Amino acid sequence: MASVNTNSPKKKTKNMTLHKKDAISGYMFIAPALISFLVFVLYPVIASFVISGFNWGILGTPKFIGLENYKTLFNDPVFIESLKNTFKWVIIYVPFSILVSLIIALAMDMPLRGIGFFRTMFYLPVMTPMVVCALLFVWIYNTEFGVLNYVLSFFDISAIGWLSDKRISLISIALMSVWKHSGYNMLILLSALQGIPDSLYEAAALDGITPWRKLIDIKLPLIMPSMYFVVLTSVIDAFQVFTEVFIMTKGGPGYSTHTVSYYLFANAFEYGKMGYACAMAVVMFIIILVVTLIQDKIMNKNVQYDS
Amino acid sequence: MKQSKKSIVLSYAILAFATLIVLLPFFWMLVSSFKSQRELFAYPPKFLPSVWKWENYKQVLSAGSISFFQMFLNSMKVTLPVVVLNITFSSLAAYAFARINFPFKNFIFMMFISSMMIPAAVVMIPRFMLFTNLKLVDTYWPLILPSAFGTAFSIFLLRQFFMTIPKDLEEAAVIDGCGKFRIWATIIVPLSKPIIATLSVFLFQGTYNDFMGPLIYLNTDTKFTIQLGLASFRNSFATRYDLIMAGSMLALIPVLIIYIVCQKYIVKGIVMSGLKG
């Protein structure tokens, strides 16, 4: 990524002024973005860490209390529950959604007709606003009048409280989320699959390879870099799940769908506990950072195939 | 290349099944939006409404505390400035990252890139306090300003594209004495129409569909965007699924139009963003 300077010593003086000119124009070009970044990203990140050390309400003077917010946080049963639910969400949602994306991408990486049509269809939920998807599934999941329970009744399955049963409400929302988001990762994985050179398959065909071995020995290893990207971004997004929970269950029933983002939002904008909410944000930030670094360690080991 | 018949058949089966799963909920939204209250809660449910009730749509247009047109207009007041400004300023920055040498360039670029993994929650509260101090809560500024001057994802995507433009094109302009800004305006931007189209769709979709931002910043219901209006509509008409579904259909229309018109750009953009920088 780095650009290389290839100045000979003689040209140095002329290059110096050129360099200066370049430096000035470079900074002028990035100035709006850089200032915006400092004001709206870097400053808020630092401020979040600072505010998390205060008892900071909507009204009244903030009082510095050190790590007190963090102590309270890990003794707050609702936060612990929210944290558990968030991990549960990541563990259910990410593998399932990536598996679905991968299976569809593999199916589409065949010489079939109508690929364009399928691609259009599968991306439709991704474009659809989350609020619309969430409201739609509230209706579909309705225990008494929902179409899903009606369809299941043909198979002698009695009515399920998709969103009202504590044991499955989180899973129900996750299923909706898989339905909505899988098309995105599918497109990325599909483009990786289509980037595999035909010559590799031809060579493999000469060896009389089975489709199964082709999948395991050629396709999967070669799409590892894209898989790495897909897993990483999906995990980061999954840790922040908010809108679907907010619309579909408001964190309920009980605390069964409280996630960290949801509880954080409630603390900041409903109870006005800004310092406490910032402490949650910091904890979430650190968790995402650590999880990302661990994934990087594990997955980069497997991404060494490209020569 | 020979494919075994079995895997072709299996692929078709998978895709047909998946298409069904994707489309059925949309179908259900459509038919529900045309049903009468009574048919909506009939058991067993009817798949098609016996009478297609267009009145639902008429009703939903003015049922909430503000009309759907107003909400749509409000959404556009946020979305259009974000799309135009973000692309302008992001492409300026992206051009510098792709073509100009300046000190700490790689450091700053990496800083931008790594900021993409910062969870929204970490910047949310200080930003809210900032806008509260500026007395800008309950205006559209907090929804526009943070993405107006360029954002990491846009800069990244544009830079990737700019790197693929051959440098010779600019060298001729340099010899003619063109300044960097003119090169950006007259050569780079016109050549980047495909990626600009892609990014416009992404930004439009992201801003138009955003729920959390309006939820935090907008209090007066006449200022609500479509997403926020739809959600609050549901709070006041909890069991009127006929109206909620009709409202959802209306909210879906703008993205649907964009989607149909710009499909090919979307696919290209996703492929590009999936490539490692």
With residue A64 as reference, give the H or E element that holds it: strand A63-64
Residues 267-286 of A with CB under 8 A from B: 268-269, 274, 277-278, 280-282, 284-285
Copy the structure tokens of residue A195. 């980037």
Q: Do A44 and B122 touch (CB under 8 A)?
A: yes
pLDDT tens for A42-93 read 999 999 999 999 988 877 788 888 888 999 999 999 999 999 999 999 999 9
- Report the predicted TM-score, pTM, of the whole model to 2 decimal places: 0.88
Most confident range (mean pLDDT) of A173-177, A247-251, A296-300 is A173-177
CA distance A62 to B126: 14
In chain A, what residues touch B152 (CB-CB under 8 Å)? 37
Residue A63 pairs in a beta bridge with A55
| Tens-binned pLDDT, residue by residue, of chain B (277 aa) | 455 788 889 999 999 999 999 999 999 999 999 988 888 888 788 888 888 888 888 888 877 677 888 999 999 999 999 999 999 999 999 999 999 999 999 999 999 999 988 999 999 999 999 999 999 999 999 999 999 999 999 999 999 889 988 888 888 888 887 888 888 998 899 999 888 988 998 899 999 999 999 999 999 989 999 999 999 888 888 778 888 899 999 999 998 898 888 887 777 777 777 654 3
Length of chain A: 307
Q: Mind listing the domains of chain B with CATH numbers?
A: 60-274 (1.10.3720.10)
The neighbour count for residue A75, using CB atoms within 10 Å, is 9
CA distance B160 to B139: 35
CA distance A105 to B4: 18
- The confidence score (pLDDT) of residue B150 equals 93
The neighbour count for residue A199, using CB atoms within 10 Å, is 8
Q: Mind listing the domains of chain A with CATH numbers?
A: 12-51 (no CATH), 68-302 (1.10.3720.10)
What is the three-class DSSP state of B276?
A: coil
ipTM of the complex: 0.89
By the CB < 8 Å criterion, does B239 face chain A?
A: no
In chain A, what residues touch B209 (CB-CB under 8 Å)? 128-131
By the CB < 8 Å criterion, does B268 face chain A?
A: no
Give Cα A177 distance to the centre of its chain. 11
Residues 47-86 of B with CB under 8 A from A: none
- The confidence score (pLDDT) of residue B80 equals 96
Contacts of A249 (CB under 8 A, 6+ apart): A163, A169, A173, A256, A257
SS3 labels along chain B:
CCCCHHHHHHHHHHHHHHHHHHHHHHHHHHHHHCCCHHHHCCCCCCCCCCCCCCHHHHHHHHHCCCCHHHHHHHHHHHHHHHHHHHHHHHHHHHHHHHHCCCCCHHHHHHHHHHHCCCCHHHHHHHHHHHHHHCCCCCCCHHHHHHHHCCCHHHHHHHHHHHHCCCCHHHHHHHHCCCCHHHHHHHHHHHHCHHHHHHHHHHHHHHHHHCCHHHHHHCCCHHHCCHHHHHHHHHHHCCCCHHHHHHHHHHHHHHHHHHHHHHHHHHHHHHHHHHCCC
In chain B, what residues touch A178 (CB-CB under 8 Å)? none
By the CB < 8 Å criterion, does B91 face chain A?
A: no
Q: Do A112 and B8 touch (CB under 8 A)?
A: yes
- The confidence score (pLDDT) of residue A4 equals 46
How far is B273 from chain A, CA to nearest CA, in Å? 8
Q: Do B93 and A48 touch (CB under 8 A)?
A: no
How far is B257 from chain A, CA to nearest CA, in Å? 11
A301 — pLDDT class (breaks 50, 70, 90): low
One-letter amino acid for residue B133 of the chain: N
CA torsion A293→A298→A302→A304, rounded to 10°?
50
- The confidence score (pLDDT) of residue B64 equals 67
The neighbour count for residue B208, using CB atoms within 10 Å, is 24
By the CB < 8 Å criterion, does B238 face chain A?
A: no
One-letter amino acid for residue A37 of the chain: F
Residues 72-91 of A with CB under 8 A from B: none
Q: Do B125 and A268 touch (CB under 8 A)?
A: yes
In chain B, what residues touch A29 (CB-CB under 8 Å)? 92-93, 95-96, 100, 180, 184
- The confidence score (pLDDT) of residue B148 equals 95
By the CB < 8 Å criterion, does A23 face chain B?
A: yes
Nearest to A62 by CA among A42, A73, A47: A47
CA distance A29 to A25: 6
Q: Do B126 and A135 touch (CB under 8 A)?
A: no
How far is B103 from chain A, CA to nearest CA, in Å? 6
Q: Do B270 and A184 touch (CB under 8 A)?
A: yes
A16 — pLDDT class (breaks 50, 70, 90): low
Of the residues A6, A41, A148, A180, the best mutation for testing chain B's interface (the one with the most B CB atoms within 10 Å of its CB) is: A41
What is the three-class DSSP state of B258?
A: helix
CA torsion A213→A218→A222→A226, rounded to 10°?
-40
Say which range, A37-46, A167-176, B58-67, has the weakest mean pLDDT: B58-67
CA distance A182 to A122: 8
Q: Do B100 and A26 touch (CB under 8 A)?
A: yes
One-letter amino acid for residue A291 of the chain: V
Nearest neighbour of B122 by CB, restricted to A48, A131, A135: A48
Contacts of A120 (CB under 8 A, 6+ apart): B263
Residue A119 has pLDDT above 90, yes or no: no
CA distance B238 to A172: 20
Of the residues B32, B86, B102, the best mutation for testing chain A's interface (the one with the most A CB atoms within 10 Å of its CB) is: B102
Copy the structure tokens of residue A285. 């930030």
